[in-house]
Amino acid sequence: MAKIKYYYNTETCKYEPIKVTKKSMILNILGFMTISFVMALGIIYIYRTNFTPIKESVLRAENHELKLNWGILNEDLQTAYDHVNELQFKDDRIYRVILDTEPIPSTIRQGGTGGHERYGDLTDQNLEDPVLVLNAYEQIDDLKKKLYIQSKSYDEISTLLTEKEKIWASRPAIQPVNNKELKRIAGGFNPRRFHPILKKIHPHEGIDFTADIGTPVYATGDGTVTRAYRSTTYGNVIFINHGYGYQTRYAHLHKFNIRYGEPVKRGQVIGYVGNTGRSQGPHLHYEVLYKYRPIDPINFFQRDLDNEEYEKVIELSRRETMPLDY
């Protein structure tokens, strides 16, 4: 049973029951709903202005993380650039200089990447910072291109190196007689030598190494024996063709250790010091020819001598000593 509520009527000075009409009930309900709605709106407003929704805060955290990673990636990109630049520098300034070939033209190394239009898909994405992203894509493309050119360059260097190795192995580059067994250099290369017996200018086109009969004589570079015979002037003599314009001759030998047509390697014993042909004592007459013209063999000894020894050999060969062949 519903409770009856009373109120004090001042006009009648009596307590009278409160009569609730339907109209006042509806008005009360509407009033209550209005106040509740306004309060709810206020609470939502305060919450939105002071607190971040959970989903948005997750996105913000992810965004922050992405920016950090983006920064790290850019640093890595810069490090990769530095490495590639170092490779390019070594390629152009060291390897290609050693191999006596031209550096790669900067127009090829620095060739453009084609501009922003290549990244149309990205520019359509309405990114917050499109320049930052586009620059990164451009840098990566540029890096890929530089690496491709560098890789091609190494292929070329490898081919050049193989060819140069053959040239270096072939070029006369050691003494034909071991320094320990060498007694002295009796006569140096002298295109204007006055011959004491012939009484006229008669060039001495090689170097005479004085050593005991039987001392080993070495091929001074890789090549092929093109002659090995007995000459009236040279005595037992060996001619070696090294290719690339170089030939060497080894004269007055006691005997041969090779045959005509045989391939030889640098440092291989090809014969022994002797006193055959027009020779005044046991020695090796050694000649180097470039494109059939005799040149001073002193310029082709560097590989087996230290600086002091090399200076000594030069000094000996420059002295006005008498060649032992005539």
3-state class of 16 per DSSP? Answer: strand
Residue 193 lies near Zn ion (rule: CB under 5 A): no
Amino acid at site 105: P
Residues whose CB is less than 8 angstroms from the CB of residue 103 and which lie 6 or more positions away in sequence, other chains included: 91, 92, 93, 96
Q: Is residue 76 within 8 Å of 140, Cβ to Cβ?
A: no
Q: Which stretch binds Zn ion (CB under 5 A): 30-38, 70-78, 117-125, 315-323?
A: 315-323
Residue 91 lies near Zn ion (rule: CB under 5 A): no
Backbone φ and ψ of 240, nearest 5°: -120, 130
Residue from 91, 222, 287, 325 binding Zn ion (CB under 5 A): 325
Tell me how far CA of residue 131 lies from CA of 72, 80, 122, in angstroms. Answer: 17, 21, 10
Name which of 221 and 297 has its Cβ closer to Zn ion. Answer: 297
Distance of alpha carbon 166 from alpha carbon 246, whole angstroms? 13
Q: How far is the CB of 148 from Zn ion (least distance, A)?
A: 56
Residue 271 lies near Zn ion (rule: CB under 5 A): no
Residue from 238, 249, 285, 316 binding Zn ion (CB under 5 A): 285
Residue 235 lies near Zn ion (rule: CB under 5 A): no
281 closest CA partner among 184, 185, 211: 211
Q: How far is the CB of 292 from Zn ion (least distance, A)?
A: 18
Q: Which stretch binds Zn ion (CB under 5 A): 141-149, 235-243, 259-267, 283-291?
A: 283-291
- Binding letters toward Zn ion, positions 203-222, x by CB under 5 A: ---x-x--------------
Amino acid at site 26: I
Q: How far is the CB of 324 from Zn ion (least distance, A)?
A: 6
Greatest alpha-carbon span in the chain: 172
Q: Is residue 186 within 8 Å of 321, Cβ to Cβ?
A: yes
Q: Nearest residue to Zn ion, using CB? A: 285
Residues whose CB is less than 8 angstroms from the CB of residue 286 and which lie 6 or more positions away in sequence, other chains included: 176, 206, 207, 208, 209, 220, 248, 249, 250, 251, 297
Q: How far is the CB of 259 from Zn ion (least distance, A)?
A: 25
Name which of 271 and 323 has its Cβ closer to Zn ion. Answer: 323
Q: Which stretch binds Zn ion (CB under 5 A): 43-51, 146-154, 164-172, 201-209?
A: 201-209
3-state class of 39 per DSSP? Answer: helix
Q: How far is the CB of 239 from Zn ion (least distance, A)?
A: 15
Q: Which stretch binds Zn ion (CB under 5 A): 19-27, 98-106, 200-208, 220-228?
A: 200-208
State the number of binding residues for Zn ion (CB under 5 A): 5
Q: How far is the CB of 250 from Zn ion (least distance, A)?
A: 11
Q: How far is the CB of 323 from Zn ion (least distance, A)?
A: 4
Instruction: Output the DSSP codes for 203-267.
Output: -B-SEEEE--TT-EEE-SSSEEEEEEEEETTTEEEEEEEEETTEEEEEEEEEEESS-TT-EE-TT
Name which of 208 and 222 has its Cβ closer to Zn ion. Answer: 208
Q: How far is the CB of 88 from Zn ion (least distance, A)?
A: 50
Q: How far is the CB of 254 from Zn ion (least distance, A)?
A: 16
| Residue 196 region by backbone torsions, left for phi larger than 0, else alpha for psi between -120 and 50, else beta | alpha
Strand 207-210 to 283-290 pairing: antiparallel
Name which of 221 and 277 has its Cβ closer to Zn ion. Answer: 277
What residue ranges bind Zn ion (CB under 5 A)? Answer: 206, 208, 285, 323, 325
